[in-house]
């Protein structure tokens, strides 16, 4: 469902946009709609990728190898007196 909106733009910008839209054989409305759609999609894609990356970081990565000592054993202090 489409809905109209009202924009306030500088007259010079509107004039230049009309020329550009004519060259592209489209309308200013279609150009703005396409750009807004692109911005919204890119933002949603970024947020999705960010959530995915953060989830992977929380899970951690198994880099292979085996744990051969506990944390306590690794940090055990030896009395060197």
First-to-last alpha carbon distance for the chain, in angstroms, is: 81
Q: What is the pTM of this model?
A: 0.67
pLDDT of amino acid 43: 98
- How does pLDDT run across 14-33, given as a tens digit for each residue? 999 999 999 999 999 999 99
Residue 64 within a domain: yes
| Residue 80 maps to a domain | no
pLDDT at 80 over 70: no
User: Residue 53: inside a domain, yes or no?
Assistant: yes
C-alpha 14/C-alpha 7 separation (Å) is 11
Instruction: Please check whether residue 1 lies inside any domain of the structure.
Output: no
Tell me if 3 is assigned to some domain: no
Number of domains in the chain: 1
Q: Does residue 16 sit within a domain?
A: yes
Residue 68 lies in domain: 11-74
Indicate whether 81 belongs to any domain: no
């Amino acid at each position: 469902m489409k809905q109209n909106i009202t924009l306030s733009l500088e007259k010079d910008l509107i004039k230049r946009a009309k020329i550009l839209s004519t060259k592209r054989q489209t309308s200013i409305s279609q150009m703005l709609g396409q750009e807004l759609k692109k911005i919204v999609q890119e933002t949603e894609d970024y947020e999705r990728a960010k959530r995915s990356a953060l989830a992977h970081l929380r899970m951690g990565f198994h880099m292979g190898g085996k744990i051969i000592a506990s944390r306590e054993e690794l940090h055990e202090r030896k009395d060197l007196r």
